[in-house]
Chains A and B, each alone.
Chain A
Amino acid sequence: MSVIPAALATATGLGGAGALAGLGLPRGLRVPVAGVLTAGVGAAGCAAGVAALGGSRWTAYCSGLLPLAGAHVAVDALAGLFMAVAGAVVAAVAVYGIGYAAGHGARGLGSRTAQAVLPLFALTLVLVPVAASVSTFLLLWELMALSSLLLVLAEHRERPSVRQAGVWYAVMTHLGLMLLLAGLAWFAGQAGGETFAALRAGAHGISSTVRGTVFVLVALAFTSKAGTLPLHAWLPLAHPEAPSPVSALMSTAMVNLGIYGVVRTGFDLLGGGPPWWWLGLLAVGGISAVYGILQAAMASDLKRLLAYSTSENMGLVLIGIGASGLFASYGNRPLAALALVAALLHVVNHAAFKALLFCAAGSVLRATGLRDLDRLGGLRARMPATAGFFALAALGAVALPPGNGFISEWLLLQSVIHGLQVPGVAVAVVLPLAVALIALSAGIAAAVFVKALGVGFFARPRDERAAEAREAPPLMLAGMGLLAVGIAALAVVPGLLGDGLDRAVGAAGLPGSGALTGGGLKVRLADISARLSPLWVVAALTAAILLAVALPRVHGRRRRRVNARLWDCGGGAPTPRMAYTATSFAEPLQRVFDDVLAPEQDVDVTPVRESAYLVERVRFQHRVPDRIEHRLYEPVLGFLAGAGRAARRLAGGSVHLYLGYGFAGLVVLMSVLAVGW
């Protein structure tokens, strides 16, 4: 018996047991037992995924499991990659979650419902890539959406804002499901079968209009799950309000599945398509990347900032996928494979650093009760381990060496830069813009994470609760430590992933490129001679730092470091109120991008009653709303609300009217049947 079915069976069993444990056990036992079982689900899923990346494949058909169609499951390297990432994140976050929920008592994440749903959510995250038929896939997809919705709502008793976020999330995710259902059902109907194998076989016989429509529907649904524009609005609302371990899972493993869906349907099932599909994805990705990171730059809520950064990173991944599809549609398959490798590697890297960032933000939230960067500060002295983890993950997120994010962005840039070998005016116009957008988002990301780390963790506390923060308990630190080890490994020896990524790209229908090889990182393509060895960069930087530290020692007389007061231009002891806040830090950037962000300012001056010249009170309000959220959704919401109010008149309370409706309905039905439509 091979590893994959055994591991999947173990995961399913553990997930079920975890759900039962969460439901049945008393309060003290509930959290640790369900947490350990959830971690087991993650570990088993990761094992299955790693086995699939190693080259094993597995397919099965259980006729009795689902009515009518039965459940088709299959694991290839592409599914394996997403399973392995989801499993690894789930395992680490579950360990973290035990410590997190233990402090909360019986409410929030520690509640019976939340603890019963968490293992199920973890299980669906691992199992969605396994599905190999439309019905199985949709069922697991919906289970994932429902369980995550319940988890988002876990803290609804504590804050009323959770409910609003929950409603947004529920509506958006089901809008996505409807699009997905329409797209996949139509696809299955045209292809003459609902298993993925039948779709793959039937895709070539479908007219290009239908294929295009299916792709647009499905891509909209999946990109909404991935949190990219324009259907991203749920993400910055739901992620901050969910309990932190849940945000970590949603922002990594769940949004990844949106990417998985795009790759699976676009490349594998539909077998690629005309350039306009991919140009569309590129545009969506590029705009999301810059818009997301700009919103993150403006956010002073730490978790909202991280959520928008997810939108940015998924945008970068979509740029890679779009570029890959574009190159493939022009027939340059090695370059297409390279771009897809870059995109998939970025998925892995993003999962690692974003999970750690959310976990660190969670420990801050747990220790201080604050998410507002303007009031945090000074945490590096009180929570050194958490601050260190946050710094490590932020280094990955800013895409600078020696962070892990740099390697995938470097690969992405390389593939886009060399994409100009591909002929075509569209390519010539789009790719420079793509480079510019990637670079702009990377530049602003640096400012964003300097802000998050510098304002949130450095300097001095601006709030009593931040001043009294205490370090997170050992289990939370252990969970974060696991993620940190993963980040370090990805940063230094990404080549270990090389073969697995090649197989995953091969499973998506593009031949492997050999872009990554063991140990170092090498891009080997016919016309590209680019090399990067992260290990060497780290070694060289370390050596140079030692050199720089030694320089003053050699030259000057060796002395002890002396403590002195802050000089501050002679201003004396600065108070915490004088320090820069997140809002003030972002102000220059906000001015630069005024036209895009459209900030709203309000000055309210209340004069004293006797005189207009004496002011009693001045109120200043400033906020940077999500413009797309407002412009795109508010009209729709307004229309729906108006329609609802108008429809109220239909039900005036008169029994005669209702009888009339019934009669009219019957007549219409009868006449339709009589005409024989």
Chain B
Amino acid sequence: MNGIRYVAVAGQVVVVAAGAPLLTGWMRQVRARLEGRAGAGVFQPWRDTRKLLRKEPITPVGTGPAFRAAPALLVATTVVAAALVPLLSTDTPVSGHADLIVVVALIALGTLALALAGLDTGTAFGGMGASREMTVAALVEPTILLSVFALSIPAGTTNIPAIVSGAVHQPARLASPAGLLAVAALAVAVLAETGRIPVDNPSTHLELTMIHEAMVLEYAGPDLALVELGAQMRLTLLLGLLSSLFVPWGIATGVSWAALAVALVAFAAKLLLLGAVLATAEVFWAKVRLFRVPELLAGSFLLALLAVTASYFLNGAS
């Protein structure tokens, strides 16, 4: 039965890599419809990626190895994280090593690589994007780790498959105040980490507001395709992580083809729903001023701290 386990890991990676552009297309389509536009269709990000991959690779003069390596590193960290996080199955060959702190750190590594690439161009935009991105990242990290802390207290471990399968078998854990507070905190952190409204606007090129786009302005062709794919995969992965942690039902906890198929369907449904909710929210929200973002993050940090304290007192009493 070991074959299924390997298929499960490969499946997670493939689903994230291939599904990421579709999820982005779906979210854009939902937004377009809500704004009264026809939209470009769900497959447009796919078509964009294919088009970019066919163009000639370009190196701007004055950039160095960091600029060249960053897109591949961004995608690579996301792929490794996607293999670790239990999206389809909690029982995989790597599940023993699927530590939540490692996943958070891998995602941060991708952010850092892109920020270095932004600085490497030596343009004002690159530096600006890198500076803003690192500021947000520095403030997001404590929130994520504290939510992790809150979640790992009832499970007694930071191993994600253990947390998830524990939650599948004991749903009461999720409905506890600690769980809900942690969801709220982690959701804000995910919005910040993936560069969505209200922290960053993914569809703007306006210099006053952009964070992520400013860093990657110099990329073109296949490099840009990788950067875009990396960003889309991170969104998929983090939404998937959120769904695995807080709505874990459907994820295969054993080894059988049927469970895996159910997990795939459930995962797709959860992501489509989450994506639609996020896209709808983005239609009604405005982007927050850059210097109001820390207040938002501080709020989510506080929620995470409350989650930990609540988790401790609720679990410690029993």
Residues of A whose CB lies within 8 Å of any CB of B are 377-378, 380-381, 398-401, 406, 410, 413-414, 417-418, 420, 423, 428-429, 432-433, 435-436, 438-440, 442-444, 446-447, 450-451, 453-455, 458-460, 527-533, 536-537, 540-541, 544-545, 547-549, 551-552, 555-557, 559-569, 571, 574, 576, 578-580, 584-589, 591-592
Contacts and interface: CB of A to CB of B under 8 A. Distances in A.
Contacts of A436: 142, 145-146, 301, 305
A586 B130 CA distance: 10
Given A435-B145, A580-B128, A420 B122 contact: no
Given A428-B313, A533-B97, A592-B135, A562 B56 contact: yes
Contacts of A591: 291
B86 interface: no
28 contacts: A380-B64, A400-B109, A417-B153, A428-B312, A432-B146, A436-B142, A440-B141, A440-B142, A446-B137, A447-B135, A450-B112, A450-B116, A454-B119, A458-B122, A529-B159, A531-B97, A540-B80, A544-B77, A547-B76, A555-B53, A555-B54, A556-B54, A563-B60, A571-B123, A579-B127, A580-B126, A580-B128, A580-B131
A401 to B, nearest CB: 5
B138 interface: yes
A109 to B, nearest CB: 31
A18 to B, nearest CB: 40
Contact of A548 (B127, B220, B226): B226
A557 B141 CA distance: 40
A624 to B, nearest CB: 15
Interface stretch (B37-45, B98-106, B243-251, B262-270): B98-106
B193 to A, nearest CB: 11
A536 B94 CA distance: 10
Nearest to A575: B122
A458 B55 contact: no
Contacts of A429: 309
Given A406-B105, A443-B137, A549 B72 contact: yes
Contacts of A536: 97
Given A413-B145, A435-B146, A531-B97, A565 B60 contact: yes
Contacts of A432: 146, 149, 305, 308-309, 312
B102 A458 contact: no
Contact of B79 (A435, A458, A544): A544
A567 B79 CA distance: 30
A378 B151 CA distance: 44
Given A432-B305, A556-B222, A443 B60 contact: no
A567 B102 contact: no
Nearest to A462: B122
A580 B126 CA distance: 8
Contacts of A381: 64
Interface centre among B62, B99, B128, B134 (most CB of A within 10 A): B134
Nearest 10 Cβ contacts at the A-B interface = A580-B127, A454-B119, A459-B122, A443-B141, A552-B222, A544-B76, A443-B138, A439-B142, A439-B145, A447-B134
A524 B225 CA distance: 43
Interface string B194-230: 0000000000000100000000011010100110000
Interface string B63-98: 111100001110111011001000000000000110
A380 B124 contact: no
Contacts of A433: 305
B26 interface: no
A431 to B, nearest CB: 8
A354 B134 CA distance: 22
B200 to A, nearest CB: 13
Contacts of A444: 138
Contacts of B309: 428-429, 432
The SS class assigned to the B binding surface is: helix
Given A447-B138, A530-B159, A563 B65 contact: no
Contacts of A439: 141-142, 144-146
Contacts of B80: 537, 540-541, 544
B162 A529 contact: yes
B141 A530 contact: no
A559 B178 CA distance: 54
Contacts of A528: 156-157
A420 B123 contact: no
B312 A578 contact: no
B294 A568 contact: no
Contacts of B71: 548
Contacts of B294: 592
Contact of B217 (A414, A530, A569, A579): A569
Given A531-B99, A589-B134, 6 more contacts: A435-B145, A439-B141, A552-B57, A555-B50, A564-B60, A567-B60
Nearest to A461: B122
B158 interface: yes
A560 B59 CA distance: 10
B120 A458 contact: yes
B243 to A, nearest CB: 23
B172 interface: no
Contacts of B61: 563-566
